[in-house]
Amino acid sequence: MNHTSQNPADREFSAEEINAANSRTLMGTLGIAFTLLSPGRIEAGMPVEKRTCQPFGLLHGGATLALAESVAGQGSMMLCGPDEVAAGVQVSCNHISSAKEGDKVHAVGTIIHQGRTSHLWNVDIFTSTGRLVSSVRVTNSILKRR
């Protein structure tokens, strides 16, 4: 990964590198894998299986929120300068429909507002057949690294 540029849009990001770095985090535990990393647009998938489901075989809302926050957080980190870090401060979610065990959901995050001290993301989560499961808004605060 190239972090030498001062312009975040000039950095190169590899989904494989990010996924490997996240393997021992909550993202790895839930099976979240990034599939597209570009400034202002992030995509990731997550399996709908026992570890991400409610006891009756439907995708757990908490797993959905973890997916959305992961997508928005990675997106903000890509837009941050080398002396900055993103921290989630607010999440708002509407669950529209369900995803069943055995499916895989796909999250598409797009930036709505990129300010100096905050980023606002919209993250839509779809089933493998393209049905909207949840629509999530995530606000990240942009902080100076300590």
The torsion of the CA quartet 76, 82, 84, 90, rounded to 10 degrees, works out to 10
Strands (E), 32-131: 33-38, 41-47, 84-95, 104-114, 118-126
| Domains of the chain by start residue, with CATH | 8-144 (3.10.129.10)
List residues with catalytic annotation: 69
pLDDT band of residue 12 (cuts 50, 70, 90) is low
Pick the more confident residue, 10 or 67: 67
- Write down how long the chain is: 146
Whether residue 101 has pLDDT greater than 80: yes
pTM summary value: 0.90
Whether residue 144 has pLDDT greater than 70: yes
Query: Can you name the residues that pair with 111 across neighbouring β-strands?
Result: 121
